[in-house]
Amino acid sequence: MDIQEQLHRAVRIQELALQTAADRKIIEEAPGRIEEIEARFRERNAEYVAVKERFEELDSDQKSRNNTLAELEEAKKKYQSDLMQVQNQREYAAILKEIDECKARISENEEAVLRAMDELESLKGDLDNRNEHIQQERDQVESERNTVEGEVKDAKARMSDAAEERSGLEDDLPSLMKAAIAKLEQSRQGIFLAKAEDGTCQVCYVRVRPQAYQEVKLAQSIHYCGSCKRILYHQRIVDDMAGVGHGKGGTA
């Protein structure tokens, strides 16, 4: 396999490797993103639940006070009729005292019921409003989670395609080139190629020897950057890939 073809493939393998790294990041970050989306919902939902609980508590308190009021009215009525049948002054005074007590408790409960009415009304409005919103929030969470899961699915599919394409490209690549790629990919954070331009490595900006630069430019032999050790290629290799394609194009 000629040098140009080897570099063609190395450029494509580099593209695939970078895309795969990006896809791996999407997959790794997905659980955190979903957790964030759900945490945001839990927070809003907690506010909703707090208002709902306050409403229910107050509503149930109100019902119990109304029952108490009915009982007190009943008791008062009974004492008032008892009053007609008393035998002496002492009994009369005792029943009057009971009636007064009933009246005091009635007015105390009535005041509490009136006070609670305002709060209940405002809680009811708040609750209706939140009810509507919380459903929207639920839908929103669902749709955001679907988006993340869709991105993960796409990333996995791309990774699998990339692995297959890469394996095809590496299949009959000279073993020296294959080994160099694997070693540099490990030791250079996944970037094993460096573009040479204007006589300089574009990754570390150290000059390439003029003779080596010429040979890289003409794809005559494989050279490594003297500083960052990456495999050097020239833009014309990429242009050839996009344009003329394979063959012996791109001569001086």
**Minimal distance in Å, beta carbon 34 to Zn ion?**
40
Q: Is 231 among the residues that bind Zn ion (CB under 5 A)? A: no
Our finding on whether 193 is near Zn ion (CB under 5 A) is no
User: What is the greatest pairwise CA distance in the chain?
Assistant: 132
Residue 232 sits in the site that holds Zn ion (CB under 5 A): no
Task: Give the separation between CA 6 and CA 19, rounded to whole angstroms.
Answer: 20
Q: Are 30 and 152 in contact (CB under 8 A)?
A: yes
CB of 155 to Zn ion, least distance (A): 30
Look at residue 96 and give its three-state secondary structure.
helix
User: Considering the complex, what minimum distance in angstroms separates the CB of residue 194 from Zn ion?
Assistant: 5
For residue 225, state whether it binds Zn ion (rule: CB under 5 A): yes
Give dist(CA 119, CA 49) in Å, integer: 17
Please report the DSSP string for 115-146 in residue order: HHHHHHHHHHHHHHHHHHHHHHHHHHHHHHHH
- Of 88 and 211, which CB lies nearer to Zn ion in the complex structure? 211
When the beta carbons of 155 and 193 are compared against Zn ion, the nearer one is 193
Nearest-angstrom CA–CA distance, 70 and 231: 92
Closest by CA position to 11, among listed 219, 220, 226 = 219
Q: Which stretch, 31-39, 62-70, 115-123, 220-228, contacts Zn ion (CB under 5 A)?
A: 220-228
Q: Which of 46, 50, 104, 204 binds Zn ion (CB under 5 A)?
A: 204
Tokens describing residue 10: 């190395």
Please state the closest distance from residue 12 (CB atom) to Zn ion, in A: 20
Choose the stretch contacting Zn ion; rule: CB under 5 A; options: 20-28, 130-138, 189-197, 212-220. Answer: 189-197
Closer to Zn ion at the Cβ: 41 or 192? 192
Nearest distance, CB of residue 200 and Zn ion, angstroms:
8
Separation between Cα atoms, residue 167 and residue 159, nearest integer Å: 12
Q: Is 193 helix (H, G, I), strand (E, B) or coil?
A: strand
On the CB side of 52, how many CA atoms lie within 13 Å of its CA? 11
Stretch that binds Zn ion, among 44-52, 178-186, 201-209, 244-252 (CB under 5 A): 201-209
Q: How many CB atoms lie within 10 A of CB 222?
A: 19
Confirm or reject binding of residue 201 to Zn ion (CB under 5 A). Answer: yes
- Phi, psi (degrees; rounded to nearest 5) at 75: -60, -40
Q: In angstroms, what is the minimal distance from the CB of 224 to Zn ion?
A: 8
228 is a site residue for Zn ion (CB under 5 A)? yes
Q: Smaller CB distance to Zn ion: residue 142 or 197?
A: 197
Binding site for Zn ion (CB under 5 A): 194, 201, 203-204, 225, 227-228
